[in-house]
Amino acid sequence: MTGLAAAQLDLFLDSQAVVAANEIAAALLARDTARASAGLDNARRQGLEHPGLAGLADLTRALTEWHTPARDAPAIAHAVTWLNSEMVPAAASALGSQGSKLVAHFFAELAQLAHGLAYDHIYPHAHSAALCLRAGDCAAAEQAAMTIPQWKELPDALYWVTIARFRLHGLDAGRDTFFAFAWRDPQRVPQLLEQLEDEVLERDWRAFEAASDWESIPEPLLPAWFPAWYVMEHPAVAASLDQALLPDTPPAEAVRLLMQLIELEKQGNSRRLVASRARLRSLNVEFFELYMARRKVRYG
């Protein structure tokens, strides 16, 4: 075989490999494992080589192994773990950005299965709200979370509602529940911020962290003070905050006081203003000093 003929054959085989890989990928996106398996077998028989075939084979195996679990929280939670460890990485490797569409189908299947099941704090990822979010159905996720009794006091429900509202309507819609979550589960705030992917909120978060040394507040509890800092920096939001979401904690009490102070400051010095500032100082001296420094900058 001449050099030109060999090069032409290589080009032909490469082209066949690309076509075969594309056909297998299309079959997988349609969740047609029989067609995908047949395409892989055919590619092997022809000796075709393509960098994506190994990933497509892994994903085909994962799809073949998938079984709808029983309708209970432990079984659904086990299926979620399997999807995260097997299906998600295989889909990303084999299909790239298209992989999320395939994975979303299975989370939607689990969400439908979990519909109506009670919230189980041991298996939160098995709740339909969490599964709807993974499936990309934010409206259904919000509705499912709000059916949980006393959801406004439950960190997991607040987490799901916040993500759903942010994705559906933006920062203004999800701010209240974000604050409520920060007061009740401050250690998971960085995780929630990562999920929200909101540049404006991220910028405020970095500014909050840099605003003070925060030596008086234990690091795990620091995110609970972010809402107070936020209201101090953005006083216009105070009028729209849902006070029903505020728990009886010092960081939330600081927000209550700030909401009062914003109105009292418009009236000038008064005994009530002095008393409210004294109360704020008693909650946390470090935050109070930051608040007073902002007052000097704002009012001179």
Q: What is the pLDDT of residues 112-166, one digit of tens each?
A: 999 999 999 999 999 999 999 999 999 999 999 999 999 999 999 999 999 999 9
Residue spans of the domains in the chain: they are 1-65, 67-138, 149-300
pLDDT higher than 50, residue 255 = yes
Residue 47's pLDDT is 66
At 294, the pLDDT band (50, 70, 90 cuts) reads confident
**DSSP-assigned states of every residue in 227-258:** HHHHHHH-GGGGGG--GGG--SSHHHHHHHHH
Q: Give how far Cα 1 sits from Cα of 4, 5, 9, 33, Å.
A: 8, 6, 10, 39
* pTM higher than 0.85: yes
Residue type, 116: G
At 83, the pLDDT band (50, 70, 90 cuts) reads very high
Q: For residues 131 and 111, is the Cβ–Cβ distance under 8 A? A: yes
Report phi then psi at 217, rounded to 5: -115, 125
Longest Cα–Cα distance in the chain? 100
